[in-house]
């Protein structure tokens, strides 16, 4: 019993350490997937496309939950705020599973666009990826504080300040991810390419094609 109590008290007393551990695990999983170190299965093209669509749905639901959470806390509805943010966090954990499976699925997509459209897409995609990576410890710290402290105790922590940063980074990242998904899959179309090994390779390999494919020429 004493050991269980200690295990419950430790995260509350050391939220930064818990955040660091969970962040390292998250980064390791993503790096392992991109580097081919995780034993992820390869799927058919249709399954990879389905995973991409499912990720977009999950991200949309997560963004909706975040917006709802902001609305609730601004109206002093703490319980609803907590429920909305935990829903968003659960959806992001589900996104991570889908994303890791998609990375190991067999191919990535390159948008069929040129000029200003391609530049705008790449800029949005880069910001989306960068914010996704930078938001991890901030989001986790806000969640850890929220789960280990009562509403009254949270007033004496940096939860509100960290939460505002987390919402801004997390929300913008999700919004840009949704926009780039729509452009890639429902506006300009795409061509398949090999696995990506990170943001640099992504930007280098996702270059504009010499001639864009017709919008209806998509799988």
Q: What is the pLDDT of residues 42-94, one digit of tens each?
A: 888 888 889 999 999 999 999 999 999 999 999 999 999 999 999 999 999 99
| pLDDT for residue 195 | 54
pLDDT digits (tens, 9 = 90+) for 171-199: 999 999 999 999 999 999 888 776 544 44
Is the domain covering 16-205 a CATH 1.20.120 domain?
yes
Residue 195 and residue 190: Cα distance in Å, rounded? Answer: 15
| pLDDT for residue 106 | 67
Instruction: Show contacts of 19-28: CB within 8 Å, 24+ apart.
Output: 19/137, 19/140, 19/141, 19/144, 20/137, 22/140, 22/144, 23/136, 23/137, 23/140, 26/96, 26/136, 26/140, 27/133, 27/136
Residue 203 has pLDDT above 50, yes or no: no
Contacts of residue 39, defined as CB under 8 A and 6 or more positions apart, other chains included, come to: none
Residue 109, beta-bridge partner list: 192
Residue 204 has pLDDT above 70, yes or no: no
């Amino acid at each position: 019993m004493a050991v269980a109590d200690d295990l419950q008290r430790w995260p509350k007393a050391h939220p930064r350490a818990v955040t660091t551990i969970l962040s390292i695990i998250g980064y390791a999983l993503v790096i392992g997937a991109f580097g081919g170190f995780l034993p992820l299965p390869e799927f058919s093209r249709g399954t990879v496309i389905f995973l991409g669509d499912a990720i977009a749905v999950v991200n949309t639901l997560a963004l909706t939950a975040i917006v709802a959470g902001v609305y609730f806390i601004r109206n002093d509805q703490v319980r609803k705020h907590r429920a909305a943010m935990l829903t968003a966090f659960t959806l992001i954990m589900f996104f991570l599973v889908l994303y890791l499976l998609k990375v190991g699925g067999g191919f990535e997509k390159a948008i069929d666009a040129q000029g200003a459209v391609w530049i705008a897409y790449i800029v949005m995609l880069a910001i989306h990826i960068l914010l996704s990576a930078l938001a991890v410890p901030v989001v986790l710290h806000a969640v850890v504080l929220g789960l280990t402290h009562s509403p009254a105790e949270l007033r004496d922590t940096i939860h509100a300040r960290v939460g505002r940063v987390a919402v801004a980074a997390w929300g913008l990242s999700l919004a840009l991810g949704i926009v780039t998904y729509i452009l890639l899959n429902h506006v300009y179309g795409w061509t398949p390419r090999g696995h990506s090994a990170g943001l640099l390779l992504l930007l280098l390999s996702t270059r504009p094609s010499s001639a864009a494919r017709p919008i209806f020429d998509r799988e």
